[in-house]
Amino acid sequence: MHTIEKLTLQQKNRFDLLGYLSFPGLFANEIADIRAEFDRVFRESADQIMPWEHVVHHNLPRQIMPMITEKSAMLNSLAHSEKISSIIADLVGEPFRLLGSDGNIYDCGTRWHTDLTGLPYNCRNVKVIFYFDEMRAGNDAFRIIPGSHHHTDQFAKKLKRLVKTPEETIGLSITEVPCEEIPTVPGDVVVFDARAWHAVPYVGNRRHMMSFLYVDKDYQGPATSEDYQ
Ligand SMILES: O=C(O)CCC(=O)C(=O)O
């Protein structure tokens, strides 16, 4: 059991309804040390950085440090810290587990997408993200479409069909798609359901980011092909 400061009923309902929550300043005191550790892992495990170019990033470069928590005792204990565990426990119940983590340096934007790769659609989950750079409203802030994690809804199904290339399909640019922008400063944490559609515009900022992905007790392994149909 984790001992915790509980989320309010409203926060739990908001996550359930909209698919995300933000916690401004949750790690304000620790973020400089977390960033130093992130940099150390990138430096000392440079041979494990995965260069990544994908259409989701408009084929621009992203560097990924997979399973960053396995490369650092400090980041591993952060991922299992009470501050984070209490949030996850309140959102998906216990026992939950840390399924994955990564560190990222983005020299690219990220188009509208979900993070379902390898996760079954019905998987209750929480993704926790830390940005180590300021992410500004009207600019490069993380964007999410409220309620888009309700994957069996008509709306979510239509997003899946139409929002990946919105210029072409609905005549809107990435930044014109209606959404909530969540501006952040280092030390803030955003948590969201990996099934929600989200995007980040590129403004040349070479942002640094770390994520932890948690799944609930019913997770039984990677998705089957049916989950992607
Ligand atoms: O910062 C970004 O470009 C992407 C973040 C994201 O899509 C994610 O955390 O899944």
pLDDT at 4: 47
Q: Report yes or no: 121 and 86 within 8 Å, Cβ to Cβ.
A: no
Report yes or no on 172 lying in a domain: yes
For residue 74, give its domain range: 9-217
Q: Report yes or no: 149 and 95 within 8 Å, Cβ to Cβ.
A: no
Atom of ligand 1 nearest to the CA of 127: 9
Report yes or no on 223 lying in a domain: no
Atom of ligand 1 nearest to the CA of 62: 3
Other CB atoms closer than 10 Å to residue 23's CB: what's the count? 18
210 CA to middle of ligand 1, Å? Answer: 9
Predicted confidence (pLDDT) per residue in 130-165, tens digit: 999 999 999 999 999 999 999 999 999 999 999 999
Atom of ligand 1 nearest to the CA of 115: 10
Mean pLDDT, 10 residues at a time, over the chain (229 residues)?
A: 71 98 97 98 96 82 95 98 98 97 95 89 95 96 98 96 97 97 98 97 92 95 66
pLDDT at 105: 97
Please choose from 54, 104, 197 the residue to mutate so as to test ligand 1's pocket, defined by most ligand atoms within 8 A of CB.
104
225 CA to middle of ligand 1, Å? Answer: 24
Report yes or no on 4 lying in a domain: no
Report yes or no on 171 lying in a domain: yes
Residues having CB within 6 Å of any atom of ligand 1 = 106, 110, 115, 129, 198, 200, 209, 211
Phi, psi of 65 (to 5 degrees): -105, 100
121 CA to middle of ligand 1, Å? Answer: 19
Other CB atoms closer than 10 Å to residue 167's CB: what's the count? 10
1 CA to middle of ligand 1, Å? Answer: 30
HEC string for 115-151:
CCCCCCCCCCEEEEEEECCCECCCCCCEEECCCCCCC
Predicted confidence (pLDDT) per residue in 6-30, tens digit: 899 999 999 999 999 999 999 999 9
2 CA to middle of ligand 1, Å? Answer: 28
Bridge partners of 172?
A: none
Report yes or no on 142 lying in a domain: yes
Sign of the alpha-carbon torsion through 161, 192, 29, 138: positive
The number of domains in the chain is: 1
Atom of ligand 1 nearest to the CA of 209: 1
Report yes or no on 82 lying in a domain: yes
Q: Report yes or no: 226 and 207 within 8 Å, Cβ to Cβ.
A: no
**The domain spanning residue 17 has which CATH number?**
2.60.120.620
Atom of ligand 1 nearest to the CA of 135: 1
Is the preceding omega at residue 183 within 30 degrees of 0, hence cis?
no
Report yes or no on 93 lying in a domain: yes
Please choose from 129, 136, 164, 210 the residue to mutate so as to test ligand 1's pocket, defined by most ligand atoms within 8 A of CB.
129
Non-local (6+) Cβ contacts of 22 within 8 A are: 182, 184, 188, 189, 190, 191
pLDDT at 225: 61
Instruction: Give the side-chain half-sphere CA count within 13 A for 161.
Output: 8
The whole-model pTM stands at 0.94
Our CA angle for 1, 127, 179, nearest 5°, is: 135
Report yes or no on 224 lying in a domain: no
Q: Give the N- to C-terminal CA distance of the chain in Å, as an integer.
A: 37
